[in-house]
A = this chain, B = another copy of it.
């Protein structure tokens, strides 16, 4: 027995690789196809159109292929509704639930396509109905946020994924952000491009999230990041307990990891400064209190408080202390990070793998991402998430931030 179904593709389907992926999917999955209609764009401005009849040996196989074609941008001629099932208990999804990608996604409910709100990877899709029982919206929910009775999408029907097309022209302020990773790219020119992209994002009223690791402080880049916060180029900050402690250590004792960041000397007991800094803030009750008490008078955390830049300090098992501001529950911290991630138009990942992965997990594939680390493996891992506009730079955060700040602020 052979079962068949028609799908269509439209747009720059050759140029963007869509047609090639779809052919690949069918062949990889043991199906076959006939091309019923093919209208190739006669020139570079015209779009193409193709209609394929896809065949497989069983209904299950066919549905699986059709689903995968969906995920690659093809649309069944006769789309079906998504199926939904209620969650049996809090945090428990129905068997066969649909797990999301980070690409823009639509769900077909009662013949209508609903865009899924707050899309991110590895979530369930929950359909909400309004007062009259009509489907009102679909949204992505992480497993631990599922509540008993939530209507969760299951199976593979009625789901449409739209992977972002990478723009052909590498132009505009963000054009270079399809460049991937390289440790052997001209550093100064790349920093200029990143500065332009930041300036352009702010010019478009976009929101910029800085995700920061403690190496930024140790390498002496603190004052220049503080300048960028003060001048309004950073709208939100995401970091860990250690970042804030070392930033404050520098303010209170002039050291980072116990080394004087200017003279490079190691004052006696310098390796205890971070624990003293911690105990000072604990005594004050919070970073904000410590700023108000004039205990903390400079640095990144100071500028965040002084300029109403909201920050999330997420706890980890390697923390000393922690600071009173640190969110020690990881689910609560993830939720705070999730809010930041969905609000951001551009994310700067600065020398932290753990926090960058946490933010990256919550990002739609359409958010702009700049990732900077001295370890090429970190940069590669962070960029490898299908973002349409992302750039990685393997460099020293201690020279990167000063040069970036100079480039942005001197061009004002």
A residues neighboring B (CB under 8 Å): 14-15, 17, 19-20, 23-24, 26-29, 32-35, 38, 40-44, 64, 68, 88, 91-93, 97, 99, 122, 142-144, 168, 170, 176, 179, 183-191, 193, 215, 218-221, 256-257, 259, 261-265, 268, 272, 275-276, 278-279, 282-283, 314-322, 328-331, 333-334, 337, 354-355, 357-358, 361, 374-377, 394-396, 398-400, 402-403
Contacts and interface: CB of A to CB of B under 8 A. Distances in A.
A17 B15 CA distance: 9
Most chain B CB inside 10 Å of its own CB: which residue of A19, A41, A329: A329
Nearest to A315: B330
Given A374-B396, A398-B186, A143 B321 contact: yes
B144 A220 contact: no
A282 B400 contact: no
8 contacts: A14-B14, A28-B268, A99-B276, A193-B264, A316-B358, A328-B329, A329-B330, A395-B399
Given A400-B396, A400-B399, A259 B185 contact: yes
B92 A282 contact: yes
Contact of A262 (B19, B88, B189): B189
A15 B27 contact: yes
B264 A189 contact: yes
A205 B262 CA distance: 28
Contacts of A88: 283
A339 to B, nearest CB: 13
Contacts of A33: 43-44
Contacts of A28: 168, 268
